[in-house]
């Protein structure tokens, strides 16, 4: 689905990859850009940045939304419908990676937080938007997964689990629409680690950390070309193929030792302030 002339909603749209895709959506002629984020200060700063870049303020709207709160999602979506009409393109980009602990040291709070935001939040938002997309037989949903969703990575088990869930759900959704001969489209974006701050401290000696601008551009191109999958970089396809072909010990040696994937989280820092803000918000429920 072409972005030009259509309304675009991006969760997690006030920072990192989501913010970049928002700016690029405006550049490509989106009728309106709806920014959903948990951080009000980031929303305000993002809107000011876009206005300073010359974009019409009337095309940009920001909403403080907790994607783990169904009532919050439905209320804000209702405001969008009442004021601006349908959402044509939904990009589920809200995500969190809380720590680099082994699973046995994880807290129930961080388990719930990671699964609720990364997996269930995308499902809740899609379910709400689909109530309008399906009757009009038009729309596009892009779910931002991760190459972590096809690999097993030590000290990242929560994030990995959440992204495995996103990939399985997202592609199942695509197949359901295809079987129903629906014109609603689904794109599953599967990027490697991106240099946006979410993975600050991650080390990847062989596979390069992705630059955010080209990654955002490739994802938007995939939406406009109705691509079902978009692995970034091409090694995504190699990862999937080799895991099914190689013996486990050989796969572990190659990706774990040679590529350094199994030690990539050893020096992880992430976004501690943002993660604490998210935890505090969850604790207030």
**125-162: per-residue pLDDT in tens?**
999 999 999 999 999 999 999 999 988 999 999 999 99
Work out whether strand 60-64 and strand 139-144 pair parallel, antiparallel, or are unpaired.
unpaired
Per residue, what are the HEC states of 71-102? HHHHHHHHHHHHHHCCCCEEEECCCCCCCCCC
pLDDT per residue as tens digits for the range 41-58: 999 999 999 999 999 999
What element of type H or E holds 34?
strand 32-37
Residues in the chain: 285
Q: Side-chain half-sphere of 266: how many Cα atoms within 13 Å?
A: 9
Q: What are phi and psi of 178, to 5 degrees?
A: -65, -45
Token representation of residue 82: 């009442």
**Catalytic residue selected from 159, 192, 229, 236:** 159
* pTM > 0.85: yes
Token representation of residue 254: 């190659």
CATH number of 7-283: 3.40.50.720
* All structural domains of the chain with their residue ranges: 7-283
The DSSP call for residue 147 is: G
C-alpha 68: how far from its chain's center?
Answer: 14
The overall average pLDDT reported for the chain is 94
Residue 121 has pLDDT above 90, yes or no: yes
When pLDDT is cut at 50, 70 and 90, the band that residue 37 belongs to is very high
Residue 284 has pLDDT above 90, yes or no: no
Residue 206 has pLDDT above 90, yes or no: no
Q: Is 192 a catalytic residue?
A: no
Q: Tell me how far apart the alpha carbons of residues 232 and 241 are, in angstroms, rounded to a whole number.
A: 15
Give the model's pLDDT for residue 236. 65
Residue 244 has pLDDT above 90, yes or no: no
Q: Are 267 and 202 in contact (CB under 8 A)?
A: yes
């Amino acid at each position: 689905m072409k972005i030009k002339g259509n309304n675009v909603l991006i969760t997690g749209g006030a920072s990192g990859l989501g913010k970049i895709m928002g700016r690029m959506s405006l550049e490509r002629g989106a009728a309106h850009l709806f920014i959903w984020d948990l951080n009000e200060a980031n929303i305000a700063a993002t809107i000011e940045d876009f206005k300073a870049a010359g974009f019409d303020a009337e095309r940009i709207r920001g909403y403080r939304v907790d994607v783990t709160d169904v009532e919050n999602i439905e209320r804000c979506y209702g405001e969008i419908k009442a004021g601006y009409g349908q959402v044509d393109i939904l990009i589920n980009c809200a995500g969190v990676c809380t720590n680099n602990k082994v699973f046995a040291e994880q807290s129930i709070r961080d388990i719930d937080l990671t699964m609720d935001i990364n997996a269930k939040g995308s499902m809740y938002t899609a379910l709400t938007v689909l109530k309008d997309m399906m009757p009009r037989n038009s729309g596009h949903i892009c779910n931002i997964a991760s190459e972590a969703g096809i690999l097993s990575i030590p000290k990242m088990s929560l994030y990995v689990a959440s992204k495995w869930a996103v990939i399985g759900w997202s592609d199942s959704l695509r197949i359901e629409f295809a079987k129903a001969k629906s014109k609603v489209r689904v794109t599953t974006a599967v990027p490697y680690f991106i240099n946006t701050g979410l993975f600050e401290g991650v080390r990847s000696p062989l596979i390069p950390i992705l630059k955010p601008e080209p990654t955002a551009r490739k994802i938007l191109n995939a939406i406009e070309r109705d691509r079902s999958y978009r692995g970034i970089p091409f090694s995504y396809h190699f990862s999937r193929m080799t895991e099914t072909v190689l013996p486990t010990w050989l796969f572990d040696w190659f990706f774990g030792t040679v590529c350094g994937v199994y030690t990539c989280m050893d020096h992880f820092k992430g976004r501690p302030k943002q993660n604490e803000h998210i935890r505090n918000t969850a604790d207030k429920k």
